[in-house]
Structure 1
């Protein structure tokens, strides 16, 4: 894996080219990875995604907690030049393997000195460094993160934070010593909660390794995933990230998984972060919200809202698209009233149309981010997203939608999202 910086702007942000493996197209950063669950993009088949979201090759974000059951089958799969993306029906797409699902809250606890808990659909599994490397060898992702203890957040005690750093160092020492058994590129985990001393210790351990031991960094331990990332206090997060970035070399990409809000994402990019995922778009969709925030620098003076709640009865007779000027399938062919009807009737098409729109909108958002960095306009874009042409900062946090769903419809359409 190679990373080349195209430009650094005086007002924040950096553009780069990420070359993951030979023969694969280069990816421009800041990069939006496509979050998957069980090897699939939520609610969408590969054909629907490529036909109605984007035809450009993507980087898929797989999580071991949702695909661990595939390891035995993949170990026996005679795939020659085919990889993990081919196995799940996305040939031609690159992939990254993480431990935890950024779309769902990761349970706390279950930590032990020599193992890391992995919370799967079948329950909690015990993951030793040896077992983890065996699974990575079977899955053969293009990039994988190092095993780490990321069971920390803003409320974690100093003792819990220090244990996460010490256990991660122990796990990573084994992985550094045995990484030659795996051809995939490694991301070194940086942990330590909201403690600058602990984060520095984690960075120092990575820097003590040979220069070619890993290809980039992944920042873990700021939240418990799921909706928690959409409501975290950015005023606590950003100083810690800034402290860490000041100790990192420029020539390696930096990933921050999780459902960070569009505003927090822009602020993280301004500090020099490069790789993000679509878990925010997913969290919005499963809580019946269509993303409607504007990022067009030439937007009109109308005050925009972050998202539209399609369960609101005000949409019952609203025959306008989810978002004006959006050219996704959902907005070109359907209306707010129709999406509201699909919610009311628990139709399977509802989540599909909502995911198509949210992913399309978020991909366009990242394209606008790259353009703004190229023109040294990231600060102006950040301010637009912060206030949406209004006088005060808008709230991008996503609260759980508590709509009542009958047991008879559980598992169908939008009902599955509300359970």
Structure 2
């Protein structure tokens, strides 16, 4: 993988670039624009959507990067060793580049269970423990295009100094082994290792983690993953900008400019714009998923040239609201997604009331379409140096709350799991 900066707009205004990923002999390179929106998956599948439906949603957004997670795919390692066509083809998306991460950004990761030599891995089968040796064996089985190095990222804004320092020390030990094995394992010869940067909300600890990564040989890794800011799931939507952004800015000033920077999690659209401004290059769609499973359709306005734009437009449409039962408008006016073109608010509300599986499918179709269009607008805004105007538009109503609250409404327990589900984030 190579990373090329096409344009540095202006100071604190982000950067436009490209990830160049080689897809096998004779297959050429895929060019992925940054800021990049990775497609979050569960078990290798886009949540609630079949491959055909997802291709319809993303038909104007090719190529895309699949974000896979070990916590939802650990059981596939053995069979992948026998599959010759690669990881993306195995999960039904041949030709798509992929990145394999440790944790699922869509679900809250329980705290605890860390030890000197192991990191807890939470899967649908329960809690397990994984060593650096076992982790690299799994990476060798999966052979992803990009993968995250093993780290202790069990920190957040409330973590003590002692806990933060332990996360840095353990991550250094894990990564020493990962760096060593990455150059030895044959199946990883074409994979790119991403160095995790941990340290909670301590600039001193973050500097220590960055220093350890930068001490490695130049070709040891190809990018950075900034970890340890939240516990995934809905927690990422509630982060305070005044606490997060100074730490990210500190990290960015100490990282290599020629390597991409990734931050995973359900950051709010306003936070995304601030992180892009600071120079973060890669994000994911977990925000769209977290909204969907909590019965919310994304409705925030990001059209800079929309003369009819409504500054009072709320970030979400809560489809559990009974006032929607006779509302025959689309989820968002003028939206071109399948859900808005074919169905109404009243119908999606009816699907919620009856626990029909089509409900979350339509919400995921809309939310992904809306969020991907938002990133297209980010690209256009950066190219014309109007990122600040986009941020101003999203913040037109200073009282608007982009954080996602866990839904606590339940129709009936018998219907759980068949359609809309009770979020566990």
With structure 1 as the length reference, what TM-score do the two structures score?
0.97
Moved more, 193-202 or 17-26: 17-26
**Change over 3 Å in CA distance of 1:393–1:13 after alignment to 2:** farther
Q: For 1:249-260, what aligned pairs fall within 5 Å after superposition?
A: 249-260=256-267
**Which residue matches 1:228?**
235
**From 285, 302, 305, the counterpart of 1:278:** 285
Show the 5 A alignment for 1:381-392.
381-387=390-396, 390=397, 392=398
Q: Does 1:192 align with 2:193?
A: no
Deviation for aligned residue 1:393: 4.3
Contact kept, 8 Å, 1:405 with 1:418, in 2: the verdict is: no
The equivalences for 1:46-61 within 5 A come to: 46-54=51-59, 56-61=62-67
In the TM superposition, 1:31-46 aligns within 5 A as 31-46=36-51
CA distance 1:416–1:231, change in 2 (3 Å):
closer
1:242 corresponds in structure 2 to 249
Aligned residues: 413
Q: Is the 8 A contact 1:188 1:206 kept in 2?
A: yes
Deviations 1:378-399 (A, max 9, x none): 1111111122xx3x24210000
Runs of 4+ in 1 over 6 A off after TM superposition: none
Structure 1 gap ranges (5+): none
Map of 1:405 onto structure 2:
411
Deviations 1:276-330 (A, max 9, x none): 0000000000000000001110233522110100110111100000001110000
In the alignment, which residue of structure 1 is the partner of 2:331?
Answer: 322
Does 1:89 pair with 2:92?
yes
Match of 2:126 in 1: 123
TM-score by length of 2: 0.95
Q: Encode CA deviations 1:180-239: one digit per residue, 9 max, x unaligned.
A: 112210100000000000000000000100011100000000000000000111110000
Q: How far did residue 9 of structure 1 move? A: 1.2
Aligned Cα RMSD in Å?
1.2
Indicate which of 259, 262, 272 corresponds to 1:265: 272
Q: Which residues of 2 match residues 9-408 of structure 1 at below 5 A?
A: 9-10=9-10, 12-22=13-23, 23-54=28-59, 56-77=62-83, 79=84, 82-180=85-183, 181=185, 182-183=188-189, 184-299=191-306, 300-302=308-310, 303-387=312-396, 390=397, 392-408=398-414
- The answer as to whether partners of 2:108 and 2:424 remain within 8 angstroms in 1 is no
1:24 positional shift: 3.6
- CA deviation map 1:102-150 (0-9, x unaligned): 0000000000101111111111111111100000010111000000000
* 2:406 match: secondary structure: coil
**How far 1:253 moved relative to its partner?**
0.3
2:254 aligned counterpart, secondary structure:
coil
* Consecutive unaligned residues in structure 2, runs of 5 or more: none
